[in-house]
């Protein structure tokens, strides 16, 4: 890969700079200069030269212009030459500089050095081709056994020529603070923390562009109200989810708005375009609820193309939830037709259809959601509109060739079940599971949140979370934090 293509890595920390690269060429040049400075300060000389030549961008900085000019005026060429080698100077100014050094080396009888500069540098090679008389004069002075300053410097002096050269070259260079790349990265991370994009103390992986979020050591069930997020009088959240990296809480409300929240402060985020870029993924699930013609289909769309990629047909009522299995080869869906279906992602074939155990009243119930169980991703948590929630597993019993009309067969097993104990008024409407699988949470039509222990199978905690019907619940991926939403126009955050 070419080095200039690697500059795109800079967008990990500075998306606002690279977002405008196509329209703002100077921004791209600034990015390259910052990387050049990093190479220079870390003695990556070959990388520096390659990047500078390939991108046609010059750094042209010195540590101090005053020191740089003083070294030229004093003839400290051993300090000047290494610096000039990393600069891109106009050819005429570089020729003047090298000519002066050659003359002074001849005067000092450092003839080998004078000969090397005259015959081995690119600038003097160009002079030989385009200004042969000027070049041959230096060759003539080089082979003489004596040195005449008046003849060498002609109508000037060594000191005056040094001063003229120093003034001309000083106009081509600049001074910038050291370690600009590391300083800008530090400033960018501080800005993201100030905006609430990164919690204080977060370790940021620059290579992957992700934050290593702090994870609570112990799985503890939340009992304390942390924040109450209020919606408008005629609005409430229909769904809420934490982002997979745990930095954001996103809600979709009944009035059609998708909003991004800072769960630490409980306030609405303002920089929505930036966050929209972060939430994008290759695929998104789309379920149509009101269009009767599409209500019974489960679909995958590609965000980049906007085209329909897969369609799974088979449910006879609304699709309420859809998840991928851990290996991404299967899709599991739940529906108001009281069934759970397992689909093959590649073929879109329905591999298995099953129902959770019947209700206490002897009938089937709408399946609200399905969840992968963290302790064993072969297990799924099934929440249907009953007073019980189940951990179930699909045990494969055989695989047969499709051309004989047979496919994968599964045996459905209930591993564990948890119940509110209510025969009426305690049906569950939504559920979630803690990151380590220690706790299973359900919210019921009685406006309570039920917290079940996976180890004991018992109800460990019960509390009322809203004043009106609860709609959903979601768990933070790393912290002991749960968000609930309800028809009382609020979304609440609960912490341990």
> What is residue 4's predicted lDDT score, i.e. its pLDDT?
39
| DSSP-assigned beta bridge partners for residue 346 | none
Beta carbons of 246 and 211 less than 8 angstroms apart: no
pLDDT value for 202: 64
Both structure tokens of 71: 């070294």
Every domain of the chain and the residues it spans:
3-59+177-212, 65-170, 224-495
User: What are the pLDDT tens digits along the chain (496 aa)?
Assistant: 344 344 443 444 444 444 444 455 677 888 888 899 899 889 898 998 899 888 888 888 898 999 999 999 999 999 999 999 888 899 999 999 999 999 999 999 999 999 999 999 999 999 999 999 999 999 999 999 999 999 999 889 999 999 999 999 999 999 988 888 888 888 887 777 666 566 656 666 666 666 665 666 788 989 999 999 999 888 999 999 998 878 789 999 988 888 888 888 888 876 555 444 444 544 444 433 333 333 445 676 665 666 788 889 999 999 999 999 888 888 999 999 999 999 999 999 998 898 888 776 667 889 999 999 998 888 999 999 999 999 998 766 555 444 444 445 556 788 999 998 888 888 999 999 999 999 999 999 999 999 999 999 999 999 999 999 999 999 998 889 999 999 999 999 999 8
What's the CATH architecture for 224-495? 7 Propeller (2.130)
Q: What is the pLDDT at residue 69?
A: 94
Does the pTM exceed 0.85?
no
Question: Quick one: pLDDT at residue 388?
Answer: 92
Residues β-bridged to residue 432 = 441
Give the per-residue pLDDT at 360: 67
Give me the count of residues in the chain.
496
Q: How far apart are CA 307 and CA 311, in angstroms?
A: 11
Beta strand 249-253 with 367-373 is: unpaired
Give the pLDDT of residue 400: 45
- pLDDT at position 402 is 45
Residue 195 has a pLDDT of: 60
Q: What is the 3-state secondary structure (H, E, C) of the chain?
A: CCHHHHHHHHHHCCHHHHCCCCCCHHHHHHHHHHHHHHHHHCCCHHHHHHHHHHHCCCCCECCCHHHHHHHHHHCCHHHHHHHHCCCCCCHHHHHHHHHHHHHHHHHCCCHHHHHHHHHHCHHHHHHHHHCHHHHHHHHHHHHCCCCCHHHHHCCCCHHHHHHHHHHHHHCCCECCCCCHHHHHHHHHHHHHHHCCCCCCCCEEECCCCEEECCCCCCCCCCCEEEEEEECCCCCCEEEEEECCCCCCEEEEECCCCEEEEECCCCEECCCHHHHHHHHCCCEEEECCCCCCCCCCEEEEEECCCCCEEEEEECCCCCEEEEEECCCCCEEEEEECCCCEEEEECCCCCEEEEECCCCCCCCCCCCEEEEEEECCEEEEEEEEECCCEEEEEEEEEEECCCHHHCCCCEEEEEEEEEEECCCCCCCCEEEEEECCCCCEEEEEECCCEEEEEECCCCCEEEEEECCCCCEEEEEECCCCCEEEEEECCCEEEEEEC
């Amino acid at each position: 890969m070419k080095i200039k293509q690697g500059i795109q890595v800079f967008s990990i920390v500075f998306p606002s700079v690279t977002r405008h690269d196509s329209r703002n060429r100077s921004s791209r040049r600034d990015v390259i200069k910052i990387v050049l400075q990093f190479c220079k300060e870390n003695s990556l000389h070959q990388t520096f030269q390659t990047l500078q030549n390939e991108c046609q961008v010059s750094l042209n900085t010195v540590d101090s212009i005053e020191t740089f000019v003083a070294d030229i005026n004093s003839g400290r060429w051993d300090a000047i030459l290494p610096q000039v080698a990393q600069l891109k100077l106009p050819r005429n100014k570089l020729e003047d500089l090298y000519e002066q050094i050659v003359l002074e080396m001849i005067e000092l009888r450092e003839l080998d050095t004078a000969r090397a500069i005259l015959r081995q540098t690119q600038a003097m090679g160009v002079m030989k081709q385009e200004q042969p008389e000027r070049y041959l004069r230096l060759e003539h002075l080089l082979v003489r056994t004596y040195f005449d300053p008046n003849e060498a410097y002609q109508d000037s002096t060594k000191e005056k020529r040094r001063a003229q050269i120093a003034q001309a070259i000083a106009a081509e260079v600049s001074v910038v603070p050291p370690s600009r790349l590391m300083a800008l990265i530090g400033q960018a991370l501080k800005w993201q923390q100030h905006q609430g994009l990164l919690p204080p103390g977060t370790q940021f992986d620059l290579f992957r562009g992700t934050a290593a979020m702090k994870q609570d050591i112990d799985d503890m069930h939340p009992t304390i109200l942390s924040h109450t997020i209020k919606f408008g009088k005629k609005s409430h959240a229909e769904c809420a989810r934490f982002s997979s990296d745990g930095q954001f809480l996103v809600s979709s409300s009944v009035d059609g708005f998708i909003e991004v929240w800072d769960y630490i402060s409980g306030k609405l985020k303002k920089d929505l375009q930036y966050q929209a870029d972060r939430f994008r993924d290759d695929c998104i699930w789309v379920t149509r609820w009101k269009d009767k013609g599409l209500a019974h289909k489960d679909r995958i769309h590609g965000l980049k193309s906007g085209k329909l990629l897969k369609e799974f047909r088979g449910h006879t009522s609304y699709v309420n939830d859809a998840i991928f299995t851990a290996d991404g080869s299967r899709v599991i869906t739940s529906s108001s037709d009281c069934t759970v279906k397992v689909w093959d992602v590649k073929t879109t074939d329905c591999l298995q259809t099953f129902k959770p155990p019947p209700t206490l009243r002897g009938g089937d119930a709408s399946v609200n959601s399905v969840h992968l169980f963290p302790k064993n991703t072969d297990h799924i948590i099934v929440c249907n509109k009953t007073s019980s929630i189940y951990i179930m597993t699909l045990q494969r019993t055989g695989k047969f060739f499709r051309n004989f009309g047979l496919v994968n067969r599964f045996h459905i097993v209930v591993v564990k079940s948890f119940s509110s104990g209510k025969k009426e008024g305690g049906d569950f409407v939504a559920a979630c599971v803690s990151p380590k699988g220690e706790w299973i949470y359900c919210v019921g039509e009685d406006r309570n949140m039920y917290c079940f222990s996976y180890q004991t199978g018992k109800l460990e905690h019960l509390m009322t979370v809203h004043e009106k019907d609860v709609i959903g619940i979601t768990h933070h991926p790393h912290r002991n934090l749960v968000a609930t939403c309800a028809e009382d126009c609020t979304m609440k955050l609960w912490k341990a």
